[in-house]
Amino acid sequence: MSFVLLFTVGDAGTGEYRKLEGYKQRLEENIAELERIHWQLEEELHSLATDPEKVRLLARDLGYYGSEDGIVRVVGRPDRSSFYRVGKIIEGTPARTPRALRLRLIGLVAPVISYLLMSAVRGWLRRGGKARSG
């Protein structure tokens, strides 16, 4: 009985397994997103290495201007704060909950108590089911 209880709701049970499967899925999606970002950055790096006009445009975005460049500031237009998108951080697996630890303790103690009770009842039945008088 306690094994079934631990298997279904304990920290090694089906609920925890589903949580880990969801965590695995989030990690796989995050890896795929990071790979997409990586390839976009690789393309950007190649572009910057081969296209001088792209380098000039990026330098202007960063505030570096050539001697022949004129500066026009548009009021109300926000500055670009970041050019690149970074990946997100996936948090680790959740720690074991006190509920799961209590269930494990119950799973370990319940069979011992059941065995002791059944042994006591069996001994009582062998003696005829009556209490001894002293």
Helix (H), strand (E), coil (C) string for the chain: CHHHHHHHHCCCCHHHHHHHHHHHHHHHHHHHHHHHHHHHHHHHHHHHHHCHHHHHHHHHHCCCCCCCCCCCCCCCCCCCCCCCCCCCCCCCCCCCCHHHHHHHHHHHHHHHHHHHHHHHHHHHHHCCCCCCCC
Position 44 pLDDT exceeds 80 = yes
Note the pLDDT tens digit of each residue in 12-29.
Answer: 677 778 888 989 999 999
Residue 51: band (very low, low, confident or very high) from pLDDT cuts 50, 70, 90: very high
Burial degree of 10 (CB within 10 A; 0-12, 13-18, 19+): buried
| Residue 43 pLDDT level (bands cut at 50, 70, 90) | very high
Q: Please check whether residue 100 is in contact with residue 11, taking contact to mean a CB–CB distance below 8 angstroms.
A: yes
Q: Is the pLDDT of residue 10 over 70?
A: no
Question: Domains of the chain: which residue ranges?
Answer: 2-65+85-126
**Pairwise CA distance, residues 111 & 117, whole Å:** 10
How far is 75 from 102, CA to CA, in rounded Å? 62
Mean pLDDT over 9-13 rounds to: 63
User: Distance between the two ends of the chain, CA-based, in angstroms?
Assistant: 38
pLDDT at 33 > cutoff 70: yes
Q: How confident is the model at residue 39 (pLDDT cuts 50, 70, 90)?
A: very high
